[in-house]
Amino acid sequence: GLSDRLEEWATEYKAEGRQEGRQEGERLALQRLLTKRFGAIPAAYTDRISTASEAEVEVWLERVLDAPSLEAVFEPMA
């Protein structure tokens, strides 16, 4: 009945919130790592991070440790 549906919606809503929270956490982690490694990050890059897909953020997080420059982190994916 209705209570079952409400419970289902609540569960879905919580799962979406966790997913969004995790994505936001990854974006913040990426910005902190980039700042620690390369210094102040130009707004163009922080804008890209805030609008990037989850997959892009994951690639950039992997690259941040080995990339020789800030630009290299954001090179187009092959």
Could you give the CA distance from residue 78 to residue 75 in angstroms, rounded to a whole number?
Answer: 9
- Average pLDDT, integer, range 33-51: 95
Q: And the tokens for 62?
A: 């992997």
pLDDT confidence bin for 78, thresholds 50/70/90: low
- Average pLDDT, integer, range 7-33: 88
Report CA 59 to chain centroid distance, whole Å.
Answer: 10
- Separate counts of helices (H) and strands (E) for the chain: 4, 0
CA separation, residue 3 to residues 7, 10, 11, 17, 36 (Å): 6, 10, 12, 21, 49
Instruction: Flag the least confident range among 15-19, 49-53, 56-60.
Output: 15-19
- Predicted model pTM: 0.78
